Structure 1
Amino acid sequence: MSTIGAALRAAAARLAEVSDTARLDAELLMAHLLGISRSDLFLRHMQAEEPHHFAAMIERRAAHEPVAYIIGEQEFYGRPFAVAPGVLIPRADSETTVQAALDSARPNARVLDCGTGSGALLLTFLAERPGACGIGIDASPVARACAEANATSLGLAERAQVLAADWSKPSWADNLGRFDLVIANPPYVEADATLDRQVRDWEPAEALFAGAEGLDDYRLLIPQLGDLLSPGGLAVFEIGWQQAEAVSLLAEAAGFAAELRRDLADRPRALILR
């Protein structure tokens, strides 16, 4: 058997054609397998013997399976969120959406998260705002189970409710009441968009694609905001980086002013609708 250091070098070489972060992927998989942090891996374990099952994990990654699905979690806003196939993996870009909500909504807001997935947006807001409570809706039972598990593991189950709902269906919100904040990372990828295989082949299409222009779910959701928001309430929508103008026009047509927030790469990423 080789050392962990040698195994990491070999794994990075194996993954070089699959991932732009081949070495990082290998380190994350190794640290997860050993149950340690990456820093601990470097400080104490590089000369230890390669563990069983590491090669099998690398082959899963070589087949374009996302690291988050292999290890079963993804960090978001400094917290671990469980994820699994059938659940969209939280992206760092979405932290811009959460930050816009934290900056704009009242601290004790009642929140509706449309398309909650892993629960990352809703649960992060609640974790940062102890006086807030909310509901996450999703049409996917796999996503709802994941969000419920994350609410429990983060100690937020008493303030977060996860419900089955589909905003494309009539009367879906009849019994939900009104909210101080509606937050959403809806599907917004164009139907013919070219995606990395780890996204296209593994993540749920229903959480990604939204018609020819990627705007179908904005067209459905934004006109319904007036019936969802309390007086003085606001909505925060994540957008694709080329969709700011189109979604802003949809918002204006529904009677909302849109304020743009950019992500760390200075790309349009979220709109605050008032």
Structure 2
Amino acid sequence: MLRSQHAESEVMASTMPSVRTILDQATQRLAGLPTARRDAELLLQHVLGRNRAWLIVHSDDAMTAEQVTQFESWILRRAAQEPVQYIVGEQEFWGLRLRVTPDVLIPRPETEHLVEAALERLPEGETVRVADIGTGSGAIAIALAASRPQALVTALDLSEAALRIARENAAAHGVAERMRFLQSDLLAAVRGERFAMIVSNPPYVPGGEELEPQVRDFEPHSALFAGAEGLDVYRRLIPEAAEVLEPGGWLLMEIGHGQRAALAELLAGWDDIAFVDDLQGIPRVVMARKAIDR
């Protein structure tokens, strides 16, 4: 009887598709996407709990029926251009694995330029107060808190759903005790307080700009669009930041393509205005310091 059951399981395994076969089929189904093979591999890695090297070495291994079913459902979602990050529920940022859902913008590698610039201006070993405006998944705030163990970070967002994700991510990375999460329209909830630094990756996409379907149809529009020129949030945030920053405090913001001149104008009267380019040479971050005598 045992021998019969073993033989039956061997027959079933032999009829299930191999890792190579299922990957090739998925790549063909995603052929309309420029990242078809990479997406298929990433999704399969998450289904199997294995890395890419394992997929290569074990390409002839058979998959179980449950694994095939889950993978096929994920491929259908990706074929509809749902972002891989929402399908698997996570994204890496600054070496941190963060939970993401359609309630929050997917953290981009370009935003790491903002974190790097902020850390260059945050002293080590000192207690400093930092505010992150429009925190979303908490990516920037958590990266700063993790990198500066004595920093006290306030994460603000208008969306309570986004704040729930940010709280969860902060707890997962052991920094929640040095953070607070406030539902707020920009800095409204902290007026009267003082901060050494304010950081933000605000909405900056002009209203009429065409976006890729996977961004346009799935990511929260409130975290993307900011009026006809993409400048509406900057126009409100900059004067609010001037009210709550300490004299000499820093304001750092991510900016969109072609917005450098407009941001320089909006920051007239601030000190040490500077821009950081991304790897493509596009201005990505603007920095400005509140005048000492303000």
TM-score (norm 1): 0.94
Q: Which amino acid aligns with 2:101?
A: A
Q: Does residue 266 in structure 1 map to residue 281 in structure 2?
A: yes
Q: Does residue 46 in structure 1 map to residue 46 in structure 2?
A: no
Distance (whole Å) between structure 1 residues aligned to residue 244 and residue 146 of structure 2: 23
Task: Tell me the equivalent position of 2:97.
Answer: 80
Distance (whole Å) between structure 1 residues aligned to residue 19 and residue 244 of structure 2: 53
Q: Per the alignment, in what secondary structure is the counterpart of residue 231 of structure 1?
A: strand
Task: Tell me the equivalent position of 1:246.
Answer: 262
Distance (whole Å) between structure 1 residues aligned to residue 253 and residue 162 of structure 2: 19
Q: 5+ unaligned residues in a row in structure 2: which ranges?
A: 1-15, 290-294
Q: Does residue 21 in structure 1 map to residue 35 in structure 2?
A: yes
Q: Which amino acid aligns with 1:215?
A: L
Q: Note the C-alpha offset of 1:256.
A: 4.1
Q: Does residue 234 in structure 1 map to residue 234 in structure 2?
A: no
Q: Which amino acid aligns with 1:30?
A: L
Q: Per the alignment, in what secondary structure is the counterpart of residue 88 of structure 1?
A: coil
Distance (whole Å) between structure 1 residues aligned to residue 112 and residue 270 of structure 2: 26
Q: Percent identity?
A: 44
Q: Does residue 154 in structure 1 map to residue 169 in structure 2?
A: no
Q: Per the alignment, in what secondary structure is the counterpart of residue 226 of structure 1?
A: helix
Task: Tell me the equivalent position of 2:199.
Answer: 183
Task: Tell me the equivalent position of 1:192.
Answer: 208
Distance (whole Å) between structure 2 residues aligned to residue 158 and residue 263 of structure 1: 32
Distance (whole Å) between structure 2 residues aligned to residue 181 and residue 38 of structure 1: 40
Identify, as 1 or 2, the structure richer in helix: 2
Q: Note the C-alpha offset of 1:116.
A: 0.2
Choose from 131, 143, 146 the match for 1:124: 143
Q: Which amino acid aligns with 2:136?
A: G
Q: Note the C-alpha offset of 1:188.
A: 0.2
Q: Note the C-alpha offset of 1:209.
A: 0.2
Higher relative contact order (CA 8 A, sep 6+): 1
Q: Provide Cα deviations, 1:219-262, integer angstroms capped at 9, x if missing partner.
A: 0000112211112210110000211111111011x534421001
Q: Does residue 213 in structure 1 map to residue 229 in structure 2?
A: yes
Task: Tell me the equivalent position of 1:7.
Answer: 22
Q: Provide Cα deviations, 1:48-90, integer angstroms capped at 9, x if missing partner.
A: 2232211111000001110000000001111101000111100
Distance (whole Å) between structure 2 residues aligned to residue 202 and residue 233 of structure 1: 36
Distance (whole Å) between structure 2 residues aligned to residue 194 and residue 16 of structure 1: 22
Residues 134, 186 of structure 2: 8 Å contact kept: no
Q: Which amino acid aligns with 2:222?
A: E
Q: Note the C-alpha offset of 1:212.
A: 0.2
Q: Per the alignment, in what secondary structure is the counterpart of residue 98 of structure 2?
A: strand
Q: 5+ unaligned residues in a row in structure 1: which ranges?
A: none
Number of positions where the alignment pairs a residue of Structure 1 with one of Structure 2: 268
Choose from 110, 116, 127 the match for 1:93: 110
Residues 119, 136 of structure 1: 8 Å contact kept: yes
Q: Provide Cα deviations, 1:121-154, integer angstroms capped at 9, x if missing partner.
A: 0100111111212110001111000000000001
Q: Provide Cα deviations, 1:188-220, integer angstroms capped at 9, x if missing partner.
A: 001011000000000000000000000000000
Choose from 93, 112, 115 the match for 2:134: 115
Q: Provide Cα deviations, 1:168-203, integer angstroms capped at 9, x if missing partner.
A: 8xx43325x111110000000010110000000000
Residues 11, 26 of structure 1: 8 Å contact kept: yes
